[in-house]
Every structure is written in structure tokens, then in C-alpha cells.
Amino acid sequence: MLVWSRPGRIVIWAVFALLFGVLFLAPLAVILLSSLANQWNGVLPSGLTTEHYSDVVQGAAWQAVRASLVTGFLASALALISGTWAALALRIQDATLARVLGVLFFIPSAVPSVSVGLGLLVAFSHPPLLLNGTVAIVMVAHFVLISAFTFGNVSAGLARLSPDFEQVASSLGARPAYRLWHVTLPLLTPYLVAAFGLSFALSMGELGATVMVYPPGWVTLPVSIFSLTDRGDVFAGAALTMVLVAVTLILLLGLERVTGRQTRS
């Protein structure tokens, strides 16, 4: 919507700045200040220090970063493969079946993550599917929670893909596998990268299910942050939160550059 009057534009920008500042910037600013605070008894911290960052780096922070990165990468990759596969498979199914299965894919995203964690704990605590206490159950939990988003992103990309590309490829003699690899997937790349980025970000911030199932030795960043703040070490928790934000941001910016290049080509 175009606003033509100058006062109207000022009002709109003021409302935007207020909402953005209060809802988005203020919480992050408080966490950032906390991570650097020496003491915080008044409105603002009484002194600044980098001591909390030194503490978390010397502590288990890097192991948590590693656990989160590995979990995020593997779960997102798995979700990307299965979500893409599902989206491609549903495209050639009967419309009603595709709609029903599509809805089923989204169910895990509507269930509280704690319930997903609890469900997995119950389901995989007995032979023959004994995953409780292993890293695998963390991967499974993250996969269940993020796969709906990859499926949704890839499905949206496929819906926008003109069937002409694949049909022309077929008419020129390309068999289905060749067509998929050389035409469909390259054309879907921006959507695949976006799906991976979203899944990765979700996985990096996932706590509810992880806290239910994580084994000793595989403590992710959100679990570490939760433990620190639960013990009252708010400043260290804030420092670790900033590490989480920085790592996720760097990875997403990198992916965004890849997506941008793909879109331009």
C-alpha cells in the first residue's frame, strides 16, 4: 500500500520502529548487554566485561556448538532429502491423496516439541528400537520437528516450476533420473537452500524435544543455555546465547549468498 502524505509516512515509520524496537531489538539488546554485564542491579549494567565469553569458551561451549552444528546439519540434510522426495512423489499422485498426505506431513509441526520428545522417549526406549541414550534419538527428534518445513518449502518451489521444463527435457530423450538431476533439482536449488536454511535455524534453536532426549555428552547450545540460566548463571547463559545467534547468523548469511547467486542465474 502506498502512503502519499508525509505525515502518514512518518506515522507508519514510527509505528514500525516502535514495534521492531520493542519486539525484536530490545530482547536481543538485553541479552547482548547481559552477556557483557559485570553486575546488573539497576536499569543498566554497572560495568562491562568479556569474562562470561571467556568462561563459556573455556567451558563446554565449543562442545555444545559442535553438537548443535552436527545435529542441525545432519537433521536438516535428512529432512531435505526426505522432504524433497516426498514433495516430488506427491506431485504425481492423485490430488486427493496428495492433499491428505501433505497434511499428514505437517502434523509434527503442530505438536508441542516436548510431546514429540516424550513420544520418542517412550517409543525408542525398548528393544528392538533402543535409541534412548544415543545421539541418534536427538537427530530423530530434530528430523521429526523440521521435516514439515522442508517439505513445505520444496512443495512451494515445485508448484512454481513450469511443467514445460521437464516435459521438454523428456521429449529430448532425458530419462526420469537424468531429468531430475540435470533439470528439476537445479531449478529447485533456491528452494532447497532456503529449506535447508530454515531447517537448520529451527534445529539450532530447538530445546523442548532435545531436553527430553539428549544423552550425556551431546548437549546442544539451547540445552546448555537452559542449564546455565536454570542454575542462575544468567550472564553466562546470555553469552552462550550470543554465540548461538552468531553461529546461526553466519551460516544463514552464507546460505543466503548461495541462494542469491542461484536466483540470479
Partner 1 sequence: MSVPAFTGSNVMDVDAAKIRGAGSNVHFDKVSVAYGAHVVLHPLTLDIAPGEILAMIGPSGSGKTTALRAVAGFVRPASGRIRIGATDVTDLPPYERGLGMVVQNYALFPHMRVEDNVAFGLRAQGADKALIAERVKDSLATVGMSGFAERYPRELSGGQQQRVAIARALAVRPRVLLLDEPLSALDAQIRRNMVEEIARLHRDLPGLTILYVTHDQTEALTLADKIAIMRDGRVSSHGPTAELYRRPPNRFTAEFLGRANLLPVTVAESAAGPKGFAKARLGDAVLAGAARGEKPGDKTLLCIRPQHLSLTGDAEHTNRIVGTLKEVHWQGELTHLVLDVDGTPVRVSATRLPLSLPERGSAMPLFFTPGDTSLVPEDVCG
Could you give the string, one character per residue 185-214, with x where binding to partner 1 holds by CB under 8 A and - elsewhere? -xx-x-------------------------
Cβ proximity to partner 1: between 189 and 227 the closer is: 189
Q: Which of 5, 171 has the CB closer to partner 1? A: 171
We find the least distance from the C-beta atom of residue 264 to partner 1, in angstroms, to be 9
Q: Rounded CA gap, 198 and 213, in Å?
A: 22
Start-to-end Cα distance in the chain: 30
Q: How far is the CB of 160 from partner 1 (least distance, A)?
A: 13
Taken in order 191, 192, 193, 194, the sign of the CA dihedral is: positive
Cβ atoms of 229 and 157 within 8 Å: the answer is no
Which residues are paired to 117 by β-bridges?
A: none
Our CB check for partner 1 shows the closer of 6 and 175 to be 175
Site map 126..165 versus partner 1, x via CB under 8 A: ------------------------------------x-xx
Q: Among residue numbers 233 through 262, which ones bind partner 1 (CB under 8 A)?
A: 262
Q: Find where cell 554465540 sits.
A: 243
Shortest distance (Å) from residue 168 CB to partner 1: 5
> Quick check: 41 binds partner 1 (CB under 8 A)?
no
Q: Residue 2 or 92: which CB sits closer to partner 1?
A: 92
The answer to whether 154 and 84 are in contact (CB under 8 A) is yes
Which three cell numbers mark 127? Answer: 528393544
Count of positions on this chain that bind partner 1 (CB under 8 A): 21
158-187 binders of partner 1 (CB under 8 A): 162, 164-165, 167-175, 178-179, 182-183, 186-187
Tell how many helices (H) and how many strands (E) occur in the chain: 13, 2
Output DSSP code: residue 48.
B
Please tell me the distance from the alpha carbon of residue 149 to that of residue 195, in angstroms, as a whole number. 7
Give phi and psi for 261, each to the nearest 5.
-65, -45
Cβ pair 30, 237 in contact under 8 A: no
Supply the minimum distance, in Å, between the C-beta of residue 100 and partner 1: 20
Q: How far is the CB of 182 from partner 1 (least distance, A)?
A: 7
CB 116 within 8 A of CB 108: yes
Strand 125-126 relative to strand 129-130, pairing: antiparallel
Nearer to partner 1, 8 or 186 (CB): 186
Pick 157 or 222: Cβ nearer partner 1: 157
Interface residues with partner 1 (CB under 8 A)? 162, 164-165, 167-175, 178-179, 182-183, 186-187, 189, 262, 265
